[in-house]
Amino acid sequence: MTTAPEVTGFYEARTGSVQYVVADPQTKQCAIIDPVLDYDEKSGATATIQADRILRFVAERGYEVQWILDTHPHADHFSAADYLKRRTGAPTAIGEKVTEVQKLWKGYYHWPDFPADGSQWDRLFAEGERFSVGKIPAHVMFSPGHTLASITYVIGDAAFVHDTLFMPDSGTARADFPGGDAHVLWRSVQAILALPDETRIFTGHDYCQGGREPRWESTVAEQKRKNPHVAGMDEARFVALREARDKTLPMPKLILHALQVNANAGRLPEPEANGRRYLKIPLDLLQAAWD
């Protein structure tokens, strides 16, 4: 039985996001991880360009979509999970701690009737829970620190680490979002690096460090050797570096737009009486560096 899934990354340049199709070459079953629903904040327009690109690829390869997986409620793009579920019939899943994120943002958005119980997804994964993609075994690692709900999917020899680790030349995720914590992030990084050295690491974003082409695959061994937030670090030094860096960063431009969609499993707000959908932006909620 193969333990090496076929992994295809789809780079979305507007937000620097990487979406994945992870397939068992034997059964042709696959999972889609962290799909993007296109959104232009200047016009308020939404589109399914990225998701349709993935669907075309799946059809060309003859894959069957078994899972639609999000690693966490994203702060910088909308999730296409709901759209892909409607197109494929595949179940959606996320980590069970998403309910903590929902409770937090339910208060921020003043949503008294919003169900903060994770019921918007078909499956809430617990720490260590096992599943499969085709015949390839998979399990879930709880990886908080960047957000309260972040998880890593380990599918065969591939680990999808969302924003916990970037490419080795780009460090680690910020930990200053609501519910973030640099100490907790350090422990999550260490748990990922305890996987076998040959484990393939797939990150959720790439910002093309130094103007290079986008990249999203490394290994545990490379991360240990080359990532400046990892190599030669201890927890105290990492936390000091991470917190100092985070103080200089503006909030992602879409965080207040995206969380109200992504805390609802990628569902856009319901149309109002005039048939239009509206986003709700709380003013003066978040404090960060201005860009």
Nearest to 96 by CA among 140, 65, 34, 30: 140
In a domain, 279, yes or no: no
Radius of gyration of the chain (CA): 18
Cα–Cα distance measured from residue 98 to residue 94, given in angstroms and rounded to the nearest whole number: 7
Nearest to 87 by CA among 121, 60, 48, 123: 48
Whole-angstrom CA distances from 174 to 183, 205, 251 are 12, 12, 10
| Residue range(s) defining the domain that contains residue 149 | 6-262
Single pTM value for the model: 0.96
Q: What's the CATH number where 83 sits?
A: 3.60.15.10
In a domain, 290, yes or no: no
In a domain, 227, yes or no: yes
Cα–Cα distance measured from residue 126 to residue 130, given in angstroms and rounded to the nearest whole number: 9
Q: pLDDT tens string for the chain (291 positions)?
A: 458 999 999 999 999 999 999 999 999 999 999 999 999 999 999 999 999 999 999 999 999 999 999 999 999 999 999 999 999 999 999 999 999 999 999 999 999 999 999 999 999 999 999 999 999 999 999 999 999 999 999 999 999 999 899 999 999 999 998 889 999 999 999 999 999 999 999 999 999 989 999 999 999 999 999 999 999 999 999 999 999 999 999 989 999 999 999 999 999 999 999 999 999 999 999 987 887
Cα–Cα distance measured from residue 260 to residue 281, given in angstroms and rounded to the nearest whole number: 9
Burial of 287 (0-12, 13-18, 19+ CB in 10 A): exposed
Q: Mention every residue, 6+ apart, whose C-beta is less than 8 A from residue 115.
A: none
Nearest to 163 by CA among 191, 198, 188, 183: 188
Provide the 3-class DSSP secondary structure of residue 204: coil
In a domain, 288, yes or no: no
Number of domains in the chain: 1
In a domain, 272, yes or no: no
47's tokens:
């589109």
Position 82 scores a pLDDT of: 98
Whole-angstrom CA distances from 253 to 41, 72, 157, 197, 245 are 9, 18, 34, 35, 18
In a domain, 286, yes or no: no
Position 287 scores a pLDDT of: 83
Nearest 5°: phi and psi at 109?
Answer: -90, 0
Cα–Cα distance measured from residue 191 to residue 194, given in angstroms and rounded to the nearest whole number: 5
Position 2 scores a pLDDT of: 58
Nearest 5°: phi and psi at 268?
Answer: -70, 155
Cα–Cα distance measured from residue 91 to residue 266, given in angstroms and rounded to the nearest whole number: 13
